[in-house]
Amino acid sequence: MKYSEQIAVRSRAEMDLMRNAGRHTGEILLKLREAARPGVTTGELNEIADGELKRRKLNSPFLGYAPGGLPAYPGVICASVNEEVVHGIPGSRELREGDILSLDFGVESGGFHGDSAVTIPIGPISGKAQDLIETTDDSLTEGVSQMVMGRRLSDIGSAVQKKAESGGFSVVRQFVGHGIGRNMHEPPQVPNYGRPGRGQRLRVGMVFAIEPMVNLGSEKVRVLDDEWTAVTADGELSAHFEHTVAITDHGPEVLTRVPGSH
Ligand code: MF3
Ligand code: CO
């Protein structure tokens, strides 16, 4: 883990642009969530998101994203169903009653980014799936609560891990949260695990995307031949929640939270 990298501190004006990007992200994610029901395809949800981006004259940081020689990402959302952990490519797959769907969405607005994800039930789901979703959301809340001046970077992941494992679940190691601002992915890496009290001190003006991925079974994941879709190695369910969160004088500010969202 690289703890030494420079973490950006946002000015008041920059923070207002981040708030705006965060609000758009949250509003559009909420629309997707409302549209997701049995019979709808993940490709149709991608179309809805694309329409909202165009209407609001915003850019997608997901579309065409190609880190480290990966093929360009072909959607404006990620839609990961059941055992898919993250980066599910939207397409012809129809949602079915009993599925759980992880929706991940981001925008670029005025040079700044928002990034957020939520896992939702499609119709009635099993008790264990419900428990997984609730615990993953709670683990994000625990991580967010550490976004306070003076805490250390590893306090975030430590709090996430403690909550997730207290429910008997495992946290994914292979993907981590991240700094966010002028780029969707900036230093530092924000793991969802670790010992507390390590790494850089958190300062007012830092903004991180905290994004626990929590598995019902083993933490192990593998990536499919499309080079994007990550699935659990054991085929068990996985959930993903994410918010873009700023550290302010008065504590954590969840920039991607809008009324009605997680
Ligand atoms: N929220 C996701 C992440 O931070 C963004 C996915 S990038 C994409 O990893 F290219 F897959 F869209
Ligand atoms: Co992210």
Looking only at the bridges linking them, the beta strands covering 77-81 and 100-109 are antiparallel
261 belongs to a structural domain? no
Tell me the pLDDT tens digit for each residue of 146-180: 999 999 999 999 999 999 999 999 999 999 999 99
194 belongs to a structural domain? yes
Pocket of ligand 1 (CB under 6 A): 62, 65, 73, 78, 87, 104, 106, 115, 117, 242
Average of per-residue pLDDT values in the chain: 97
218 belongs to a structural domain? yes
Band of the pLDDT at 130, cuts 50, 70, 90?
very high
260 belongs to a structural domain? no
6 belongs to a structural domain? no
Range of the domain at 211: 12-254
Q: How far is the CA of 130 from the centre of ligand 2 (A)?
A: 23
Tell me the pLDDT tens digit for each residue of 85-119: 999 999 999 999 999 999 999 999 999 999 999 99
**Residue whose entry in the numeric block shows the structure tokens 């002028």:** 182
User: Which CATH number fits the domain that encloses residue 145?
Assistant: 3.90.230.10
Q: Determine the residue of 32, 42, 62 to mutate for testing ligand 1's pocket, defined as the one with the most ligand atoms within 8 A of the Cβ atom.
A: 62
Tell me the pLDDT tens digit for each residue of 176-221: 999 999 999 999 999 999 999 999 999 999 999 999 999 999 999 9
> What is the atom index within ligand 1 of the atom nearest the CA of 228?
11
94 belongs to a structural domain? yes
Residue 254 half-sphere exposure toward CB, CA atoms < 13 A? 21
75 belongs to a structural domain? yes
Cα separation values, 56 from 48, 60, 64, 81, 259, Å: 12, 11, 19, 28, 19
For the chain, how many structural domains are there in total? 1
pTM flag (> 0.85): yes
Query: What does the alpha-carbon distance between residue 213 and residue 113 come to, in Å, rounded to a whole number?
Result: 21
